[in-house]
Amino acid sequence: MERDTKAASIENRTFGMMSRRQLAGLSVMLPALAAALANGSVAAGIGNRTAISRAAMAQDVPQGGELTVAYNNPVGDTLNQHRSSSTSSRMISRHVLENLTWVDPANGSVNPWLAESWEISEDGLEYVFHLKQGVMFHDGTPFNAEAVKANFDNTMDPEARPGFTYGAMGASAYAGTEVVDEFTVKVTFISPHAAFLLFLSDGGTGIDSPTAMAEAGEDYGRTTLVGSGPFKFVEWIQGSHVTLERNPDYTGGPAAFGFTGPTPLDRLIYRDVPEANIRLQSVLADEAQLASIIPPNVPEVQGQDNVRVIATPKAGTTRMYLFNMNSPKLSDMAVRKAINMVVDKEAMLMLPGWAGFGRPGIACLPSNMVPNGDLSSVEQYDIPYDLEGARALLDEAGWVLNGDIREKDGVQLIFDMSVMQSDVDAGVIEPIDGFLREAGMQLNIKAGDINYWIDSFSNGDYEMTLMSDSGYVAVGMVQEFFRSGEPFATTGLANAEIDDLIDKAIGAPTIEEQWEYLMPCIGLIMQEVVGVMGWESDNLDVASNKLQQLAYNEIGFPWFYGAYLEQ
C-alpha cells in the first residue's frame, strides 16, 4: 500500500511508470529492442499527445532558449562514434548526426531516415539502402553513398581501435560496403547480423561528414563533429560541458517522428556533474532543466511543484546479483536456490535504494526486452520468496546453524560480495545481506571503485556481485555473460546446450528467429540459478516543468529534437 502511495505521488509528475501488465500490453514489432517497450511506456504521456500536436509544433511552440542537461561524465571518451565506447556520448552525437534508420520508441518499428528504403536478401547477408537525396552536412558536404561507405569503412578499419560501433556493424560478421550508385549503397555480411537495422538507428552509427573526418583526423570527435542533424556541434570542454546549437537550415527529421524542420531550442548544453544530489539541486534551482538522478534523491523531489520525475525502464539486462558457481559454497544448487528464496523482491523495492521504482526481476533480461513483454514461458523457473522453505532446503542440504551462521564441514555460508562502492552508497547491497541473515547466511561486502569491481568480475575473484549491462540487442547481452569462454562470462556456467542456443540465435537471419532460440536459452539459464535476478531497473531523470515535448529515444535516453522551454 505504501508503495502505491509513493509511486502515485511521483507518477503525477511523470510521463507514467508502467506496470508489467501495461508494459506487456504494448507490443513491439521488433521484440529485441530494449527500450521500445520501455519508451512506449514512458512516452505514453508524450507519445499520444505528440502524435497530434507535433504537426503544428514548429510554428506553435515557444522558440529559442538554452536547455542545460546535467549528467555524470556525458562524454566518457570521445564524440567520434567510430571509436567511442560511451553510451551517453552516442546519445549526444545523435543530436548532431542523422542515421540511416529511425526506430520509433512508441512501437519499435524501424523507419526510414537518411535511407528512404532498403532491401534485405533472403539469407540476411546483403542490405541495399536507397538514400535520401538533397541532404547536406553542416560543412556543406553532400550526403551520398560515398559518405556512407566512408563512415562504415572508418568504423571497420582493421588498423583502428574498435569502439561500440564496430560491434554494432557486426564485428567479424561484417564483410564490406559497396557504392552501387550515387544514392544506393550495399552492405554485405559473412554471417547474418539480424540486429543491423536496429543498430543503424543508434547514435553510434550516425553518419558524419567524410570531409570533416578527413580534415580533423585524430582530433575528430574532440574538436569537431559534423553531421546533418538538427543541432550543430559548438564545443566540447572535457570535464565541463558539451555545447550544441540549433541548425536553422534543418529540413530533415524522420517522417515517422511527426514533424520536420529546425528544432525550437537555440542551444543545448550537456554539463558534466558527477554528484547526483548536485545534479538534482541544479534542476531545482533552474540552473539545469534536466538531470539524471538516483532513487535515494526521489524523496527530495516530492512536494516540489516545478519539477517532475521521469522513470524510463532501462534498456539492458536485469540487475542481477550473480553467483560465481566456481565457489565451493555456490556450486551447491541448494545454496543458490535458498539465496533466491530469502530475497523478498517486492519488499526490497520499497527500500530507499529503489524508492518504489523498478519491478521484481524474473529472468536475466527484463520484460521490456522480450517480445510483447512476455516472460510467461520462463516464469515457471523464477524462484519465489519463501523464507521457511529456504531454511528447510539448507537444513536438508546439511548447512546447519552454528550460532547465527550456517556451516557445513567447517565452511560458513558467508559470501564475498564484490561491488562498486557507489552501489553500496545507493543502498542496493546491504539489504541483500539483511535478507540472507534471516536464513543464517551473510555477505562479506567488498566494495571499491569501478576498476576494482571490473577487475574482480573479469578475473572471477568474487562469490557474488551486482551486475547489469545497458543495451538493446538481447542476444549480445546473453552471450556476454552466459556463453562459456566469453571474457565477461565468469559465473562458472558451462552448459553446452546454452552455448548452442546462443550460437544459433547469433546466426539467425532475423530477430524473430533469434527469439526462437533465445527464450529457451533464458529458461535454461534460470534453471541453472546463476544468481538472484534482482530487479528490472528504471533510469530516473528529474525535469523542470518548463521543459516540454521531451522525447525519449529507443534506448531510453532523452532526445531533444522538438523539445522546447516554456517562457
Partner 1 sequence: MRYALTRLVLAVPIMFGVSLFTFLMLHFVPGDPVAAMFIGQGAAVSEEQMDKVRDELGLNDPLPVQYLNFLKNAVRGDLGNSIRTNEPVSEMIMRNLPATMQLTLASMAFALVLGISLGMLAAIKRGTVFDTAAMFIALLGVSMPSFWLGLLLISVFSIQLGWFPIIGGSGWRGLILPAFALGFAASAIIARMVRASLLDVLRDNYIVTARAKGLTERRVIFRHALRNAAIPVLTIVGLQFGGLLAGAVIIESVFTRQGLGRMLVTALQSRDFPVAQGGVLFVAIVYVFVNLIVDLFYGVIDPRISVD
Which residues in this chain contact partner 1 in the complex, by CB under 8 A? 70, 73, 76-78, 83, 85, 87, 161-162, 164, 166-168, 171-172, 218-219, 222, 237-240, 271-275, 278-279, 281-282, 284-285, 287-288, 315-316, 448-452, 454-458, 469-473, 476-477, 479-480, 483, 486-488
CA-CA-CA-CA torsion sign (372, 367, 10, 546): negative
For the CB of residue 4, give the shortest distance to partner 1 in the complex, in Å.
31
Report d(CA 133, CA 148) in Å as an integer. 13
* Residue 469: CB minimum distance to partner 1, A: 5
Give burial (CB, 10 Å; 0-12/13-18/19+) of 495: middle
Kindly tell me which of 265 and 288 has the beta carbon lying closer to partner 1.
Answer: 288
Nearer to partner 1, 27 or 421 (CB): 421
SS3 content of the chain, % helix, strand, coil (to 5): 35, 25, 40
- Nine-digit cell at 325? 558457481
Least distance to partner 1, CB of residue 127, Å: 19
Residues 292 and 70: beta-carbon distance below 8 Å: yes
Give the total residue count for the chain: 567
Question: H or E stretch including 401?
Answer: strand 400-402
Q: Phi/psi zone of residue 355: left (φ > 0), alpha (ψ -120 to 50 degrees), beta? A: left
Chain centre distance of CA 262: 28
We find the least distance from the C-beta atom of residue 389 to partner 1, in angstroms, to be 35
Which residue number, 395 or 480, has a Cβ lying nearer to partner 1? 480
Q: What's the CA gap between 540 and 279, in Å, rounded?
A: 12
Rounded Cα distance, 152 and 82, in Å: 8
Least distance to partner 1 from the beta carbon of 125, Å?
Answer: 20
As a whole number of angstroms, the distance between CA 280 and CA 284 comes to 6
The residue (of 188 and 281) whose beta carbon lies closer to partner 1 is 281
Minimum CB separation from partner 1 for residue 473, in Å?
6
Q: Least CB distance from residue 94 to partner 1, whole Å?
A: 15
In the bound complex, what is the minimum distance in angstroms from residue 381's beta carbon to partner 1? 23
> Could you say which DSSP state residue 102 is in?
E
Judged by beta carbon, residue 185 or residue 502, the one nearer partner 1 is: 502
Q: Which is nearer to partner 1, 314 or 329 (CB)?
A: 314
In the block, cell 533472403 appears at 122
Nearer to partner 1, 39 or 340 (CB): 39
Using the minimum distance from each CB to partner 1, give the nearer residue, 274 or 328: 274
289 neighbors 546 (Cβ within 8 angstroms) = yes
